[in-house]
Chain A
Amino acid sequence: MTWWQRLWRRKQMEEQLEKELRFHLDQHTTDLIAQGHDPAEARRLARLAFGGPEQVKEESRDARGTRWLEDLWQDLRYAVRGLRGKPGFSAVSGITLALGIGASTAIFSVVNPILFEALPYPHAGRIMMIWDIFQGSRSDVTFHSYRELTERNHSFETLAVMDPWQPTMTGAAEPERFDGQSVSAGFFRALGVEPALGRDFQASDDQFQGPKLAILGNGLWRRRFSGDRAIIGRQITLDGDLYTVIGVMPRGFENVLAPTAEIWSPLQFDPWHITDLDTTEWGHHLRIVGRVRPGVSKDQAWRDLNLIARTPVPEFPRARWASLQHGLIVDSLQEDVTRGVKPALLAILGAVMLLLLIACVNVTNLLLARVAQRHGELALRVALGAGQSRLIRQLLTESLLLATIGGALGMLVAENAVRALVALSPPGLPRVDAIAVDGAVFAFALGVTTLIGLAVGLIPAPATTCAADSSKAHHGPLAGTN
């Protein structure tokens, strides 16, 4: 029998224990009568030999090993009765905790994927963003800076540049304008993601006046091409030109660099146009993302790139405005994506935690008042033999029950609040799609709830000591117990 079955069949086990002990006493009595004792005397002797039956039962229950669970069950039922007996108190503290836990859980579920979780790429910590510096602040880079860094660096596996691209598709259906990106060939490799269908861009695709190619996002592919796998190799018309579809990205692919982008094509700049300063290749309009080699730290990458920036070489002439004389900034992708929102999010998280603390203090106050009210009841329990630890355990059970109710209601609050927060979120907020009440959020809520239950239950615990002390004094209304 498992402990669970033993607990479940508690009543049956109690009956069997009773029956077993009764059999023993009856049998012994019968034997004594057979030996010549009169019935009343025989029963008395049998009892004497047996010892205290209640004590035997108690010890047998202990031997079952489910004692703590039985006590817990008893405490829980008692706690439920206590809460039902004081509906005002229960409702106020339950709702206070629900709002506190709900608000903090909702904010946590927004902050967690943005600030704390790793980005959804393999070895996401190795993905870096690189910025030029213009008038003291970060600035996009030029194509020729990118090209020089690609050729001369020692710390990056892949460097890639990207530029927004908004092509309009014409053809059979309604014309539709897409958000997309023009990217150099290594873009998806820098993120560590591959198309689910077809192939990735290759260096040969990303050449000046090269073939017009496109990779589709999974959503776009399902929406416009009803998920047709034969799309690979077909041509679509974008901005009046024919593009060949060579790949489709996987369903869960999240592009934190351009969350709305759903189509990509090769950048195809002219690398040899270095001397002509009047071309787009010399414009500061590209963002660089790179994946450092395994074992290379951000600092090492920064030193590597800044050494290149300080030491121009003749093979890579630089324009006056792209001289890299102020150095380069290297930031991890995670820091880069959350840079604008981190202080605000942390401030909100802090505020909501304070709110939770205030809720806890309020509930603790209510519980303290209740302990004071229950003085008589607690004193009676002490007089009946309950130790202080037993009293504290019961108070803890009550506060944990209260916290659990608050937590359960809080999860409901959080579910709805998260939906509202996502709907109201400012456009710049990264990773909005990843915001959800998931396992991490549930664990957070559970942890917060347990902590609250313990704290709120333990703070009034010293008050039970006075109950124990004053158990001899028989003042205090026992009527206040139920």
Chain B
Amino acid sequence: MTAVKSDLPQGTLDLLILKIIALGPVHGYAIAQRLQQVSRDVVQVPQGSLYPALHRLENRGLLAADWKQTETGREAKFYHLTRKGRAELETEAASWQRLTEAVGLILEMAEGGAQ
């Protein structure tokens, strides 16, 4: 386990979930795994809290799900993005980009001023 853990800012879990699902139909466990792997264990969410988020997104019509067989032959609920979900991902990702750029700019400026 890494020593540094970060709490996710409000609302970013939805964005991360949408992004992971955008790569292809995937079940809840795989989302949790990928979240941890890709973020190199920086992002620590109790895996269970993924599910309320998934169900909320499904309820808002951003995700759709169907039951399919995994490679091991078990039935799992696979999520995929709806058209509405894809649009949501694009706008959310863009606004996240803008926000981080702005924050980064401010931080760099502060450094420059100090030197």
Residues of A within 8 A of B (CB): 16-17, 19-21, 23-24, 26-28, 30, 49-53, 55-56, 59-60, 62-65
Contact between A20 and B47, CB atoms less than 8 A apart: no
C-alpha gap A64/B61 in the complex (Å): 11
C-alpha gap A81/B46 in the complex (Å): 40
Contact between B52 and A50, CB atoms less than 8 A apart: no
Contact partner, A23, options B47, B53, B55, B76, Cβ 8 Å: B76
C-alpha gap A55/B50 in the complex (Å): 12
**Secondary structure at chain B's binding surface: helix, strand, loop or mixed?**
helix
C-alpha gap A275/B48 in the complex (Å): 104
Contact between B29 and A60, CB atoms less than 8 A apart: no
Contact between B55 and A50, CB atoms less than 8 A apart: no
B99 to chain A, nearest CB (A): 25
Chain B residues within 8 Å of A20, by CB: 27-28, 51, 76-77
Q: Take A23-B74, A23-B76, A64-B55 as given contacts and tell me if A56 and B49 are in contact as well, using a CB distance cutoff of 8 Å.
A: yes
Q: Take A60-B55, A65-B59 as given contacts and tell me if A51 and B46 are in contact as well, using a CB distance cutoff of 8 Å.
A: yes
Contact between A52 and B76, CB atoms less than 8 A apart: no
Q: How large is the interface on B (under 10, 10 to 19, 20 to 34, 35 or more residues)?
A: 20 to 34
Render B58-74 as a binary contact track against A, CB cut-off 8 A, 1 for contact.
01000000010000101
Chain A residues within 8 Å of B74, by CB: 23, 26-27
Q: Take A19-B75, A24-B29, A24-B32 as given contacts and tell me if A63 and B55 are in contact as well, using a CB distance cutoff of 8 Å.
A: yes
Interface flag for B98 (CB, 8 Å): no
Contact between A60 and B76, CB atoms less than 8 A apart: no
Chain A residues within 8 Å of B47, by CB: 24, 28, 49-51
Interface flag for B56 (CB, 8 Å): yes
Q: What are 12 residue pairs bridging A and B, where the CB atoms are less than 8 Å apart in the complex?
A: A19-B77, A23-B74, A23-B75, A23-B76, A27-B76, A28-B47, A50-B46, A56-B49, A56-B52, A63-B53, A63-B56, A63-B59
C-alpha gap A24/B56 in the complex (Å): 18
Contact between B76 and A51, CB atoms less than 8 A apart: no
A21 to chain B, nearest CB (A): 7
Chain B residues within 8 Å of A16, by CB: 67, 77
Residues of B within 8 A of A (CB): 27-29, 32, 46-49, 51-53, 55-56, 59, 67, 72, 74-77
Chain B residues within 8 Å of A62, by CB: 52
Contact partner, A21, options B51, B53, B67, B75, Cβ 8 Å: B51
Q: Which residue of A lies closest to B58 (CB)?
A: A63
Chain B residues within 8 Å of A52, by CB: 48
Contact partner, A60, options B32, B51, B67, B75, Cβ 8 Å: B51
C-alpha gap A49/B56 in the complex (Å): 21
B78 to chain A, nearest CB (A): 10
A20-B27, A24-B32 known; 15 other A-B pairs, CB under 8 Å? A20-B77, A23-B27, A23-B75, A27-B74, A27-B76, A28-B29, A30-B72, A50-B48, A51-B47, A56-B49, A60-B55, A62-B52, A63-B52, A63-B56, A64-B55
C-alpha gap A20/B67 in the complex (Å): 10
C-alpha gap A17/B59 in the complex (Å): 14
Q: Which residue of B lies closest to A3 (CB)?
A: B59
Chain A residues within 8 Å of B48, by CB: 21, 50-53, 55-56
Contact between A56 and B29, CB atoms less than 8 A apart: no
Contact between A24 and B52, CB atoms less than 8 A apart: no
4 A-B pairs with the lowest CB-CB distances in the bound complex, closest first: A51-B48, A59-B52, A51-B46, A56-B48
C-alpha gap A30/B52 in the complex (Å): 24
Contact partner, A27, options B29, B49, B52, B56, Cβ 8 Å: B29
C-alpha gap A60/B28 in the complex (Å): 13
Chain A residues within 8 Å of B51, by CB: 17, 20-21, 24, 56, 59-60
